[in-house]
Structure 1
Amino acid sequence: MISIGSGAEADTQAHQRFSWFSQINSGKHFPALRIYVAILIAHAIEHTVQAFQIYVLDMPRTKAGGFIGYLLPAVNKDEVLHWTYAVLMIVGLILLRPGFKGRSRKWWTIALGIQIWHFAEHTFLLAQYWSGMHFLGRPVPTSVVQAFFPRVELHLIYNMAVMLPILAALSLHWFGPAAAGSQGDCDCRSHFR
């Protein structure tokens, strides 16, 4: 016979299952945000280096892949890797969103909206990669907006478009005055005072 616990036991079990979520939006919000931002910045640096390789070092686009792409050229063509990064960014934006309040939450939500579009574009690219049928008959997977802008520049723009509202949210959340709204349950501001 299966034993079903009392309501209090069930509540405790549910709390333990979801306590990590509560922690990353309260006491562990600051370290979780630092990890998230470090990944975001590393990715943005990769795209910036890629643009530098093309425009300053005059490398062919097929060879310009940032630091990692230069060492491991296959990653530049790996749509699954790019799609996975887009998924991880959305997951981070969703999981860390409850820790934001007031105006900082608005900016965080704007970043989430932009990242959802970026994810949709990568999903479209991945579908083309797997099917072999490319948008507009191009020789490589092509996103909707990529029909108008080159891929390197477009991804640099997308990453900056997501990063800027994240930085606005973090500025308000970490450094903002009390007028910026409640900080929520975390102690993020205490790390800067």
Structure 2
Amino acid sequence: MLKKELRAIYRQKRKALTAAEKNKLDDLLLIQFQNIPLPPLQTILAYAAIDENNEPPTDLMVDYLQYMIPELQIAYPRSNVPAQEMEAVLTDETVFFEKNEWNIPEPVGGITIAPEQPELIFIPLLTFDTKGYRVGYGKGFYDKYLANCRPDIIKIGISYFEPVKEITDRNNFDVPLSYCITPHNTYVF
């Protein structure tokens, strides 16, 4: 199926989730995440979920990682919309978030880090296929960013839904995930 069609279908599927369904699914996602065998981590790049889009939150996974690794550094993306690029910004309790023009919460202030620094990145998606490719929001920010990351970076997607068989209009610059977690499965690619 084409990315454009999949975006429309999965936006609608997410929109149809009730708050109670979403809370239950979020708990199940965290359980799946806790079973991924992760190497020692020093820095991760998460994203702040867009609540209005019923996007799966990364904060549950980030909180879990911070509990397990108290010295873990957490970065979040900040977009440069005209250049269609993003950068990773270290955050702590002094950094606040502001919504950009696409309603994405992004850090204001903070220290920018090199793309090679994070060992793990959470990547937003609308759906994914059985080969680990994802359908994002269509701007290519993450694929461009990943081209500059360390080759062994762990790329994790989070989905409320199981994979589609195949995304038929993949591009050469599309980067597959390492893992994608759903409420009932962890897919390894």
TM-score, normalised to structure 2's length?
0.24
User: Which structure shows the bigger proportion of residues in helix conformation?
Assistant: 1
Higher Cα Rg, which structure: 1
User: Which structure shows the bigger proportion of residues in strand conformation?
Assistant: 2
TM-score, normalised to structure 1's length?
0.24
